[in-house]
Amino acid sequence: MVVNSHSVKTLTEFIIERQSDFKYSKGELTRLLSDISIAAKIVHREVNKAGLVDILGPAGTENIQGEVVQKLDNFANEQFIAALRAGGEVCAITSEENKEIINLALNGEEGGKYVVCMDPLDGSSNIDSNVSTGTIFAIYRRVSLSGEGKLEDMLQKGSQLVAAGYIIYGSSSMLVYTTGRGVNGFTLDPSIGEFCLSHPQMKIPKDGRIYSINQGYFVHFSDGVKKYIKYCQEEDETTNRPYSLRYIGSMVADIHRNMIKGGVFIYPTTSDSPSGKLRLLYECNPLAFIVEQAGGKASNGFERILDLQPEELHQRVPIFIGSTEMVEQAEAFMKQYSAETVS
């Protein structure tokens, strides 16, 4: 089939068209999103040859070109940092892979207007078994005036997000993002090297019949979560139960599937992890913003994720995210059986 170039809208064309949505923008956000998409293509290329590791050499060794082969988390981290550094729109980054803030405004420079929080490779333990992985990013306008990015720039509530997105490296690679005016999804066409608009104005179904949780930890869950899981497993014709359980173990992939099919993804507190596992700044907030923009809901079981005040860079938070009706049903169980609040 010959693809008609006039029927395809690339991500670059789309973000330039949308620039006028931001009255006072001089194009920095447009460039920033475009920088992210370039790093995403490079990570896509590397993730797609991960199966060749025995030929190219395992992490830490030299490959046949004499280059040191890195772990893909580190590789992805470096690619995104390099793209954002080169772009100049960002003064600082918080990354899952770095304990401290990465400052990009050096030597007394004014620094870019934005900060980025990111999980450069989500679900990286799935790489070896050829299961989907992802990247998550959150973009805030800095609150400090100039120079180095500061902690206060990073510890903004999710409700202050300017833009957020994820990339899924799956059976095809997609970039999905929002700037607070709906969610749009772009699929990478490797033959032309462009993300093309494939899922305009994504809407998550209001209700669904997929629940997604690591049920292996059942004994470690609170009563509210246990009762909700039992509810999902009960037979009831009017609500179409029992529901299906799907758990990939890559949050991006589980949430992406639920965006398309409807469902709820839960990573609750456990007796081992009293704040849950997932990170507020670069996993939960950006995905909560996207899911809300698609018409869904995200909470910690009691309160809206986007209203939580972050206190530290790598803070963890329990999360219930997805189709509004399913999240609300789970919240009802939490309220009734797990009364203790978590924030």
Binding site for Mn ion (CB under 5 A): 96, 119, 121-122
Contact call for residue 250 and ligand AHG (CB under 6 A): yes
Selection from 158, 154, 164, 147 nearest residue 255 by Cα: 164
Return d(Cα 248, Cα 163) in angstroms, integer: 26
Specify the residue, 91 or 305, whose C-beta has the smaller distance to ligand AHG.
305
| Residue 124 vs 179, nearer CB to ligand AHG | 124
Is residue 251 within 8 A of residue 287, CB to CB? The reply is: yes
Instruction: Pick the stretch among 1-9, 247-255, 284-292, 332-340 that binds ligand AHG (CB under 6 A).
Output: 247-255
Q: Which of 249, 295, 314, 328 binds ligand AHG (CB under 6 A)?
A: 249
Residues 279-338 that bind ligand AHG (CB under 6 A): none
Distances, alpha carbon 286 to alpha carbons 1, 214, 229, 332, in Å: 37, 21, 26, 24
Residue 119 engages ligand AHG in binding (rule: CB under 6 A): yes
- Residue with token string 């997000």: 161
- DSSP letter at 124 equals G
Looking at beta carbons only, is 224 or 318 nearer to Mn ion?
318
For ligand AHG, which residue of 94, 124, 178, 184 counts as binding (CB under 6 A)? 124
Residue 62, Cβ neighbours under 10 Å: how many?
Answer: 11
Asked if 96 is part of the footprint of ligand AHG (rule: CB under 6 A), the reply reads yes
Give Cα separations from 13 to 25, 161, 186, 194, 203 (angstroms). 17, 23, 12, 11, 22
Contacts of 267 (CB under 8 A, 6+ apart): 213, 214, 251, 276, 277, 278, 318, 319
DSSP for 98-112, written as a single string: -SS-EE---TT----
Question: 122 vs 292, which CB is nearer to ligand AHG?
Answer: 122
Question: Which residue of 175, 251, 319, 330 would you call a contact of ligand AHG, by CB under 6 A?
Answer: 251
CB of 22 to ligand AHG, least distance (A): 30
Interacting span for ligand AHG (CB under 6 A) from 46-54, 116-124, 153-161, 199-207: 116-124
Residues that bind ligand AHG (CB under 6 A): 96, 119, 122-125, 214, 249-251, 277
